[in-house]
Amino acid sequence: MQKTLKIAGLQADLTWHDPKKNTDHFSTIISGLDADLDLIVLPEMFATGFSMEPENIADQGASLEWMKEQAQKTDSAIAGSLMVEENNLYYNRFYFVTPEGIAQHYDKRHRFTLAGEHEVYERGKDLKIIAYKGWKIALQVCYDLRFPVFSRNIQDYDLLLYVANWPKTRVFAWDTLLKARAIENMSYCVGINRVGTDDNGYDYDGHSGMYDSLGATLAFAEKREATLTA
């Protein structure tokens, strides 16, 4: 097992329903990162914003291909969620892409009913553990954070990784639960959120954070675009 895993979390504003503009923006941010990273983490639905209209903008492969290109270019894994269509069904799919171009995924299990996500996207099933550089990484998406039994560390993972579009009105819960998940599972916990306002009228204050197994803060960013590293 590699002793340390250097992670960069990209807390950014997202342009509504514009995958090209969003991936171009993230390309610019990534081009300025340190060269010795192991993992780069993007927010939930980083290419489109948290939309309930996937019919015309679900990823047809372009955004996933962009992730593979960035992973190869940076020699770092890239992680983030996209809306995807599979067999005429839609999923909020969290991809973890290695520098070798291997893409593994987890489909969000706990959908945000207040936004109607349960009416649009199919429900994921099992907790997904990724093996990367000797680390075991558990993938989770946003609202999954409120369900501690689902993330219970019975598979001995080392890092619990959340990507989110977590709204400003509930950001205190986000801060508290990230630390709680780290402490109760005795693992590192990273949560990467967005900032700005989307076309549904939801405001986002960021509060992306990285915590050790005792709940101590390793990196934190409030309501601005920022890159967290630890």
Q: Which residues are catalytic?
A: 44, 108, 142
Do the Cβ atoms of 53 and 90 come closer than 8 Å? no
Radius of gyration of the chain (CA): 16
Cα–Cα distance, 182 to 214 (Å, whole number): 7
The torsion angle over the Cα atoms of residues 149, 150, 156 and 162, rounded to 10 degrees, is: -120
Cα–Cα distance, 47 to 59 (Å, whole number): 9
Q: Distance from CA of residue 148 to its chain's centroid?
A: 17
